[in-house]
Amino acid sequence: MFTEFISIISNVITDPQLLGLSALGTILGILMGCLPGISSTMALAILLPVTYAMSPIAAMVFLMAVFSASVFGGSISAILINIPGTPGAIVTQLEGYAMTKSGKASEALTYSLFSSTFGGIVGLTILILVAPIVARAAMEFRSPEFAMTTVFGLTMLAYSTPGSTFRGILSGAVGLLCGMVGFDLVTDVPRFDFGTTALQSGIELVPLTVGLFGLAEVLRGIEGGGKPSKKTPDLGSLLPSLKRVRRLWKTILRGSALGAIIGAIPAAGSAIAVAVSYAQEQRLSKRKEAFGTGVPEGLAGPEAANNACVGGALVPLMTLGIPGDTMTAVLMGALLIHGLRPGPLLFMERPDFVAAVYVALFLALILTVVFGFLLVRHFVRLMRTPSHILLVIIAMLCVVGSFAIRNNVTDVYIMIVFGVTGYVMNRLDIPVAPLAFGLILGPILEENLRRSLIISDGSWVVFFERPIALTMLLLSAAALSYPLVPKLRQLLSNTRN
């Protein structure tokens, strides 16, 4: 791995194309992240078709830059106009916008940029140290272990939307059904294709994600009337006050560690990480009552946690083939498009690609700092673009991106169907992320489940005989049962009374 790592560093640094793709991805990531309504997931989904003609390494260099930079970009609009560009920036607006109203917009952006970069480096370090260990352990996995690990990943979908466990499961179940469209993995007989040859190859991930995360947001924007963005404040000097940043090193370190750990939990996501980090900093602060009025600790900690989630979320994706969040679900789609199957074998068969992921993420973090200082004023001006113009551009990208995958108009129809589906689900407060997870993990679960049952002559005992499979099964049962505990306690309390 070390040899491949050095070789990839040399290749990236000396290859103008890879450097250019990383720079372009960083600029687009910051830009799309700071525009209200365009999340990191949406940015990746829209730009994923662009990588179709690239090599796997070039595609990952570009997408990792978009991924990492969009996380910081989402904080710009949260700080300046009180509208989070990404879900992970929801907490950022609490302290960031308060600092902006106090005339400290440039200071808030500085804290955000440095905290985000340091958090990303910590997340990358965790990824480099932990991923090979998990991958080696996963080499002992067989079909029963993979099946139950996938079940555990699917059960965690229930927690992707707080307070809506049933809706998360319902959305995931729809995703599983979508994953069953096409030829049967064992009998090779077409199923759920509604008599059309276009669906016999299955539902493509790209048009589904572009519809769910792209077109659905366009429809929501149209419903909102396409109102222009809020007025953005003028920025002062963006030169960092390093002395002030250094005072926050403990806060940044705590947030980074929390973000990397929580990010590695499937379906946890950055929104949970930043909320936990903010609550922790408020608990440890000597001026708890001041939170919400522009406290730097309340901004730096969550921002570090937000970007640390990037490296953390890549751990389950690369080692087990389970996306850590919606962004890595889209990245998994990119890997599958380029013929790569994430999981422990990836470390054995393509160590050069694994090393490329590490280098791409590190390069993206460095370029984010550079472009963050050089171009942030231009990004702020673009935030004033009327919403109706942005909506038209996004809709065009959705159509072109979906068609470009296979040059098939059927994919455009699929994108439109799931765009409307995503819009309706949002109106009903049903999370759309589990649907995308279900489409990706469904075929993996089916393949390993059926293979396990074939090997065991149809006996389900095979999942109870193997320790790892049994552990994953018990964890899944516990995860599904946990929301019922408060209701059971209340029921018992009422019975006693």
Residues making up the chain, counted from first to last: 497
232: pLDDT strictly greater than 60:
no
Half-sphere exposure for 88 (CA within 13 Å, toward CB): 40
How far is it, in rounded angstroms, from Cα 440 to Cα 481?
Answer: 24
Q: What is the DSSP letter of 235?
A: P
89 or 459, higher pLDDT? 459
Pick 158 or 196 by higher pLDDT.
196
Per the DSSP assignment, residues forming a β-bridge with 182 are 191
Confidence band of 41 (pLDDT split at 50, 70, 90): confident
Torsion of CA 27, 32, 35, 41, to 10 degrees: -150
In the prediction, which pLDDT does 4 show? 63
| pLDDT digit string, tens, across residues 249-266 | 889 999 999 888 878 776
Domain boundaries, the chain: 2-496
Read off the pLDDT band of 282 (50, 70, 90): confident
The mean pLDDT value for 82-110 works out to: 77
From residue 124, alpha-carbon distances to 141, 233, 309, 333, 380 in Å are 25, 33, 9, 21, 28
In DSSP terms, 190 is beta-bridged to 183
Residue 269: name the closest of 431, 129, 121 by CA.
Answer: 431
Other residues' Cβ atoms within 10 Å of the Cβ of residue 237? 9
pLDDT at position 228 is 46
Long-range contacts of 447-455 (CB under 8 A, 24+ apart): 447/185, 448/143, 448/144, 448/146, 448/147, 448/150, 449/143, 449/147, 450/185, 450/186, 451/143, 452/142, 452/143, 452/144, 452/147, 454/186, 455/143
Summarize the confidence of residues 6-31 as an average pLDDT: 84
Q: What is the pLDDT of residues 370-379, one digit of tens each?
A: 888 787 666 6
**Residue 331 host element (H or E):** helix 326-337
109 or 83, higher pLDDT: 109
Distance CA 14, CA 17 (A): 9
Query: What DSSP assignment string belongs to 409-446?
Result: HHHHHHHHHHHHHHHHHHHTT--SHHHHHHHHHHHHHH
pLDDT in tens, 382-438: 656 677 777 888 788 788 878 876 778 888 999 999 999 999 998 888 888 778 778
pTM of the model: 0.71
